[in-house]
Homo-oligomer: A and B are copies of this chain.
Amino acid sequence: MDKSVKNIAILGSTGSIGRQTLQVVRNLHSRFRVVGLAAGQNMELLSEQISEFKPKYIYYQNQKSRFQIPNSNFLPMEEIAGLPEVDTVVIATSGKAGLSATIAAVRAGKNVAIANKEPLVMAGEIITGEAKRRGANILPIDSEHSAIWQCLRGEKQPPSRIILTASGGPFLGYSESQLARVTANQALKHPSWKMGKKVTIDSATLMNKGLEIIEAHWLFGVPIDNISVIIHPQSIIHSIVEFADGSLKAQLSYPDMRLPIQYALTQPERVPNPELPQLDWNKTRVMTFGPPDLKAFPCLELAISAARKGGTYPTVLCAADEVAVDLFMKKEIKFTDIARLVKQALKNHKPITHPTLEDITETDERTRKLTLKLARKKK
């Protein structure tokens, strides 16, 4: 067995990041062997993936179709994440789903490539603390955090400021009253990124950027108040880092998740990826930057406020948002109700500082119930 081949487990393999991770792995088949795949409900795609990549271990949430797959062992996600033969775990799940597998991977000292931001937002203190103790490497896949990570390569001092760029989403420039009327179908049409549904809606409310502030805080040890957001609709600059001497570095590319996915898997090496288009400066003539509209998109300030308070507040933020986004996609609430419900959930919360994983799980469950109740009350 070639020791230079890395064994990889992909949790959430049928989602947007999971499918793109498999595209990257397909191009780099001499470097990676897929030993584990975990999916939610999409059994058809999972079967195809199993046929192609022949993982030893699989997991799926779909209880209705426990079909038998030869030479594949069914295991819970947390167990796949901690298997001794796994080198790198890709957390490509959505929302809260990846939390326990992330913790299992970190506790097992793996390379943990994280695309799913909620685990870090909810349990950043626990995850980064465990990673330090167990020698796990947390490798950000989120394009903004990959950009920051790339800009910090070789730097010996932490950045003095982080500037997260945001496309602004499909509703950039909309007024509050316009936003009250937008539909889920409109919100799912992101102008620059191809992503999963939850993160696409979060991009439309700017909650996604708020979660990224908290993620950046935990990944790079930068205080919340030194992380800011600028709207950059062209999505060419993926984030910017400022240093003590006033110099700034930015990472650029066309928006394509396959680049940060590949970087997380191959770094420190950079491997040519002929499938990705080279940035054409004849087409990139203008880049614009501006402040976010905090009045029309209150989720961003809700996230910053939850981050400043810390403790279980970010868990409430995530749980309420996940429930609210789900209700919005089911057409049960309006777009503007997402921020309203998150705000009410945060207001109702009795916080716990330095929460344990149990505190986080309980807070999550309680907040989900509360948010559903608050949503029904409205009607």
Chain B residues, CB < 8 A from A251: 247-250
CB-CB nearest in chain B for A279: B248
Chain B residues, CB < 8 A from A278: 242, 246
The 0/1 profile, CB within 8 Å of B marked 1, for residues 236-254 of chain A is 0100101111111111110
- Of the listed stretches A112-120, A148-156, A193-201, A205-213, chain B binds A148-156
A2 within 8 A of partner (CB): no
Which one of B240, B276, B287 lies within 8 Å of A286 (CB-CB)?
B287
A284 within 8 A of partner (CB): yes
Known A240-B252, A245-B259, A246-B259; judge A268-B156 contact (CB<8 A).
yes
Cross-chain contact A271 with B285 (CB below 8 angstroms): no
CB-CB nearest in chain B for A151: B249
Cross-chain contact B259 with A247 (CB below 8 angstroms): yes
Cross-chain contact A250 with B252 (CB below 8 angstroms): yes
CB-CB nearest in chain B for A290: B285
Which one of B279, B281, B285, B290 lies within 8 Å of A246 (CB-CB)?
B279
Chain B residues, CB < 8 A from A242: 278-279
CB-CB nearest in chain B for A146: B247
A263 within 8 A of partner (CB): yes
Chain B residues, CB < 8 A from A153: 153-155
Cross-chain contact A230 with B151 (CB below 8 angstroms): no
A291 within 8 A of partner (CB): yes
CA distance A244 to B240 in the complex (A): 21
8 A Cβ contacts from A247-298 to B: 247-253, 259, 262-263, 266, 268-273, 276-279, 281-282, 284-291
A163 within 8 A of partner (CB): yes
Chain B residues, CB < 8 A from A246: 253, 259, 272-273, 276-279
Chain B residues, CB < 8 A from A244: 270-272
Say how far A7's CB is from chain B's closest CB, in angstroms. 22
Chain B residues, CB < 8 A from A281: 163, 228, 230, 289, 291
CA distance A244 to B153 in the complex (A): 16
A157 within 8 A of partner (CB): yes
CA distance A277 to B245 in the complex (A): 10
Known A259-B245, A290-B285; judge A270-B154 contact (CB<8 A).
no
Say how far A361's CB is from chain B's closest CB, in angstroms. 37
Give 11 CB contacts A-B under 8 Å.
Answer: A244-B271, A245-B259, A245-B266, A245-B276, A246-B259, A246-B278, A247-B252, A249-B251, A249-B252, A250-B252, A282-B291
8 new A-B contacts, CB < 8 A, other than A247-B253, A249-B250, are A154-B154, A155-B270, A230-B281, A237-B250, A242-B278, A245-B270, A281-B289, A285-B290
What are the 4 A-B residue pairs with the smallest beta carbon separation, nearest first? A154-B154, A153-B154, A245-B270, A248-B252
